[in-house]
Amino acid sequence: MLRFIVRRLLQAVLVLFIVSLLLFTWLRKLPGGPIDAILGERATPETRAALRKTLGLDQSIPVQYLHFLNNAIHGNFGTSTQVQTGTDALDLFFQRLPATVELSVLALILAVITAIPLGYFAAKRHGGFLDTGSVVLSLVGVAVPVFFLGFVLKYFFSIEWHMLPPAGRQNPDLDATRITNFYVLDGLLTREYDAAWDALKHLILPAITLASVPFAVIFRITRASVLEVLNEDYVRTAESKGLSERIIRGRHVLHNALLPVVTTIGLQVGALLTGAVLTETVFGYPGLGDALAQAFRQRDYAVLQVLILAAALGYILVNLLVDVAYAIIDPRIRTR
């Protein structure tokens, strides 16, 4: 087990290295770049040249990369030029991380608690009304572009009915205290319940939007694998033992059926990051996705590097975690 984890981590390092190399060269090859973003129409050839020099963009790419690596090892990934000018890109990452984690976790929870039960009962009543209905729903879930769903939700719940805020993370007037920067959690910790509630209200629409795709996927996997398990001999054995519905559902059906689901949830993390870019843009939600979209539009190299590397790393780690979890719940792997 341990060896497995170590090996995977080493692979992760390798992958990250490759990604960073590709990333770096790619960014440097891009036309334009931070200077244009910084100076805009005020960029005369002179000022541009001067800036290039100060920023060391006039050196050869390998040299720049070595600089980058060297700095990176010292935990310095450069400075944001646009998204949050002057902020160390890594700091920026950590400032934005809680927002996105808060959002993704809520979205994932929403997806899981709706998708798995629905998937189970759909499979139980295979071909029934609930089944067909929820299948269609899940298919529509993937067919609707995430950002459009966001627009529609916002249009009705915020603009038309003024039920929920359309953008942002928390009303600054509340002047809430920050501890972990997970606003909902902070609100609870400091007993500023109004702040927590306000933060939550800001989360609802984005979370629903973000949950749409994972919901669809998890639902479909759950349904498929429950269908399969229900036809397994050991379920029949369990029935022949006269066990109660509850035991059979939990111990014999779900425990087996959820194995593939666990992996899927892991894979959804990638989808969540993707969705976060769109969702956070639509809802002006100050998370990583929002930073990423901005960094792309305004060619904020440092931020792009950190965010993409972090995305890759996070993705790898989560999947490693999933594999470990898988091993824990599946004895066939654990005891091999």
Partner 1 sequence: MTATKTTAAIALLAASTLALSSCASSKRDEGAKKSGNAANTSATLNFGAAGAPATFDPFYASDGETFRVSRQIFQGLVGFKPGTAEVAPRLATSWKPSADGKTWTFKLKTGVKFTDGTPFNAEAVCKNFKRMDSQNKAGQTASEYWLANMGGYNGAKDELYQGCTAKDAATVQIKISRPTSKFPALLGLPSFSMQSPTAMDKYKANNIKAQGQGFVYSDYANAHPTGTGPMKFQKYDKTNKTVTLVRNDDYAGDDKATVKKVVFSIIPDETARKQALASGQIDGYDLPNPVDWPTLKKDDNLEIRPAFNILYLGLNAKVDPDLKDLRVRQALYYAINRDQLVKSQLPDGATVATQFIPNTVAGYNKSLKPYKYDPKKAKSLLKAAGKSNLKITLWYPTEVTRPYMPAPDKIFNAIKKDWQAVGVKVTPKPLPWAGGYVTGTQNGNAAAYLMGWTGDYNTPDNFLGNFFSDPKGQMTVGAYPWGDKLHKALSDDDSVVDEAQRATAYEKLNKQIMEDYLPGLPISSSPPAIVFSKKVTGVTPSPLTDEHLWTAKVSK
Partner 2 sequence: MSPMQRKKDRIDALAATAGTAGDIPDAGHVSESGGLSLIGSAWLRLRRNPVFLVGATITALFVLLAIFAPLIAPHSGTANPLIGQVTTNHPIPNPQSGYPLGGDNQGRDLLSRLILGSRQTLIVGVLATLAGLAGGLVLGTLAGSFGGRVDTVVMRIVDVMLSLPSLLLALAVATLFGQPSQWTLIIAISVVQIPIFARLLRGSMLSQRSSDHVLAARALGVKRGPITFRHMLPNSLGPVLVQATLVLAVSIIEAASLSFLGLGNPDDSSPEWGQMLGRAQDLFDIAPHIAFWPAGCIVVVAFGFTLMGESLREALDPRNRR
Partner 3 sequence: MTAPSPAPATTDTLLSVRDLTVEFGTKGQTPFRAVDGVSFDVRPGQTVGLVGESGCGKSVTSLAIMGLLPKRGNKVAGSATFDGTDLLTLDDREMRDRRGRDVAMIFQDPLSSLNPVVSIGVQVAEVLQRHRGMKKSAAMAESRDLLDKVGIPDPSRRLKEYPHQLSGGMRQRALIAMALACKPRLLIADEPTTALDVTIQAQILNLLKELVVDSGTALIMITHDLGVVAGLCDEVNVLYGGRIVETAPRHELFASPRHPYTNGLLGSIPRLDGARNEQLAAIPGSVADNIPWTSGCAFAPRCSRAIDVCRAETPSLEQDSVAIEDHLLRCHNPWPTGGEA
Binding site for partner 3 (CB under 8 A): 232-234, 236-244, 247, 251-252, 255-256, 259, 329-332, 335
Name the one range near partner 1 by CB under 8 A: 9-17, 174-182, 222-230, 314-322: 174-182
CA angle centred on 118, ends 127 and 130, rounded to 5°: 35
- Give me the phi and psi of 136, to 5 degrees please: -55, -45
Q: Are 273 and 315 in contact (CB under 8 A)?
A: yes
- CB count in 10 Å sphere of residue 54: 9
Q: How far apart are CA 252 and CA 75, in angstroms?
A: 48
Instruction: Report the partner that residue 166 touches, choosing among partner 1, partner 3, partner 2, none (CB closer than 5 to 8 A by kind).
Output: partner 1
Total residues at interface with partner 1 (CB under 8 A): 95
Name the one range near partner 1 by CB under 8 A: 74-82, 217-225, 227-235, 236-244: 74-82
Q: Which is nearer to partner 1, 275 or 286 (CB)?
A: 286
Q: Is 289 in the site for partner 1 (CB under 8 A)?
A: no
Task: Give the bridge partners for 79, in sequence order.
Answer: 88
Q: Choose which of 15, 16, 48, 197 interacts with partner 1 (CB under 8 A).
A: 48
Q: Is the dihedral of CA 130, 132, 135, 141 positive or negative?
A: negative
- CB count in 10 Å sphere of residue 108: 20
Q: Is 263 in the site for partner 1 (CB under 8 A)?
A: no
CB of 330 to partner 3, least distance (A): 6
Instruction: Report the partner that residue 259 touches, choosing among partner 3, partner 1, partner 2, none (CB closer than 5 to 8 A by kind).
Output: partner 3
Q: Choose which of 37, 253, 257, 307 interacts with partner 1 (CB under 8 A).
A: 37
Instruction: Specify the DSSP class assigned to residue 145.
Output: -
Six token digits for residue 245:
């519905």
Q: Are 77 and 305 in contact (CB under 8 A)?
A: yes
Q: Is 99 in the site for partner 1 (CB under 8 A)?
A: yes
Instruction: Specify the DSSP class assigned to residue 79.
Output: B
Q: Which is nearer to partner 2, 29 or 191 (CB)?
A: 29
Which segments of 155-287 does DSSP mark as H helices, in order? 183-189, 193-230, 233-240, 245-247, 255-282
Instruction: Specify the DSSP class assigned to residue 248.
Output: I
Q: Which is nearer to partner 3, 45 or 242 (CB)?
A: 242
Task: Give the bridge partners for 54, in sequence order.
Answer: none
Instruction: Report the partner that residue 227 touches, choosing among partner 2, partner 3, partner 1, none (CB closer than 5 to 8 A by kind).
Output: partner 2
What is the separation, in whole angstroms, between the first and last Cα of the chain? 10
- Give me the phi and psi of 59, to 5 degrees please: -80, 165
Place of tokens 């244009």: 36
Q: Is 30 in the site for partner 1 (CB under 8 A)?
A: yes
Q: How far apart are CA 256 and CA 258, in angstroms?
A: 6
Q: Which is nearer to partner 2, 15 or 174 (CB)?
A: 15
Instruction: Report the partner that residue 234 touches, choosing among partner 3, partner 2, partner 1, none (CB closer than 5 to 8 A by kind).
Output: partner 3
Q: Is 70 in the site for partner 1 (CB under 8 A)?
A: no
Q: Are 179 and 163 in contact (CB under 8 A)?
A: no
Which residues contribute to the site for partner 2 (CB under 8 A)? 11, 14-15, 18-19, 23, 26, 29-31, 135, 139-140, 142-148, 151, 155, 159, 220, 224, 227-228, 231, 270-271, 273-274, 277-278, 281, 292-293, 296-297, 308, 311-312, 315-316, 332-333
Instruction: Report the partner that residue 38 touches, choosing among partner 3, partner 1, partner 2, none (CB closer than 5 to 8 A by kind).
Output: partner 1
Q: How far apart are CA 139 and CA 135, in angstroms?
A: 6
Q: Which of 201, 182, 181, 179 has the alpha carbon at shortest distance from 190?
A: 179
Instruction: Report the partner that residue 29 touches, choosing among partner 2, partner 3, partner 1, none (CB closer than 5 to 8 A by kind).
Output: partner 2
Q: Choose which of 1, 18, 56, 126 interacts with partner 1 (CB under 8 A).
A: 56
Instruction: Report the partner that residue 239 touches, choosing among partner 2, partner 3, partner 1, none (CB closer than 5 to 8 A by kind).
Output: partner 3
